[in-house]
Amino acid sequence: MHPAPSVIIFTSVSGLGFGLLIFLGFGLPAPMGVIAFIFFALAYALAVGGLMASTFHLGHPERALKAFSQWKTSWLSREAWLAVAALIVMALYGAGLVFYGIAVAPLGWLGAFLSLATVYATSMIYAQLKTIPRWNTPLTSLLFVILSLAGGGLLAGQVPIALALLVGAGIVQVAYWIWGDQALEKSGTNMASATGLGGQGSVRAFEPPHTGTNYLLREFVHVVGRKHAAKLRIISLTLMIGTPVLILSMNANIFLVLIAVLAHTAGLFVSRWLFFAQAEHVVGLYYGKR
């Protein structure tokens, strides 16, 4: 798949924002007044900023509101409704902390659940696609959720929880890569099934279907980006998992924790870039590519 910057920002930044809202909803931490305002402002900047970035990938951004009408069949629509609900509930919960110094726990729990559901809905936009075997696995949703929680725990300053979640996220990320590298082959989809000519014998490409590029090749086949996958995976794990774990394992000060957050975010962007760049759409088989 073509790794569009808007979608990378959307899936990375919004996940961090909703991850922080989850921790805030459960009172981890439970700040009051100005400190609460800073935490909620950061969470909303990330969550809303990420959601807004996603509209730039639409062919007609002005039609974004139509996404809300397809909630019965579309995970994108469900994500939109859940995101709005989570942001409204958490705004009410945050207002109590900021202006009145009151934590209405049930409201926070509801907001945390809706935030978690939003991240899950985002993951299902991709995990439901059978045309991309690498995504069509429960590991996709697990990866999105645990990375959101790990980033949220890191931003919330919950060191012991964040450490455990980061290690877990690293394990899930490696498992996702290992499974994904074999997904297309295990799916049983090949050039014969892609062209519909399997019943006539062995199928191989004699000439490409087109002499030039087209929309399908631009959007669904990104062969160049996969050449550096091994190096980028190491960079991603080092920044996203290794560096924050190392820093949090020490008696780190605020400056070092900030470095851990920045490193994790940078590694997350690399991971998301790989998520899209390595996704082999079965249409690539028709063009003799994968």
Q: How far apart are CA 79 and CA 95, in angstroms?
A: 24
Burial of 264 (C-beta count, 10 Å sphere; 0-12/13-18/19+) = buried
Query: What would the pLDDT profile of 114-167 be if each residue is shown by its tens digit?
Result: 999 999 999 999 999 988 899 999 999 999 999 999 999 999 999 999 999 999
Preceding peptide of 209 cis, ω within 30°: no
Q: 206 versus 28: which is more confidently predicted?
A: 28
The architecture that CATH gives domain 5-286 is Up-down Bundle (1.20)
CA dihedral 95, 101, 103, 104 (to 10 degrees): -60
The CB-side HSE value for 54 (13 A sphere, CA atoms) comes to 22
Query: What would the pLDDT profile of 208-267 be if each residue is shown by its tens digit?
Result: 555 556 555 665 666 555 668 889 999 999 999 999 999 999 987 889 999 999 999 999
Mean pLDDT of the chain: 86
The structure tokens listed for 289 are: 């590519």
- pLDDT computed for residue 226 by the predictor: 60
- Assign 28 to helix, strand or coil: coil
Query: What would the pLDDT profile of 81-104 be if each residue is shown by its tens digit?
Result: 999 999 999 999 999 999 999 999
CA-closest candidate to residue 135, choices 272, 229, 24: 272
Q: How far apart are CA 285 and CA 126, in angstroms?
A: 20
Burial of 229 (C-beta count, 10 Å sphere; 0-12/13-18/19+) = middle
Cα 63 to the chain's mean position, in Å? 23
Report phi then psi at 43, rounded to 5.
-60, -45
Q: Are 18 and 71 in contact (CB under 8 A)?
A: no
The structure tokens listed for 41 are: 């402002």
Place of tokens 């998301």: 272
Q: How far apart are CA 142 and CA 120, in angstroms?
A: 8
- Name the pTM for this structure: 0.88
What confidence tier does 197 reach under pLDDT thresholds 50, 70, 90? low
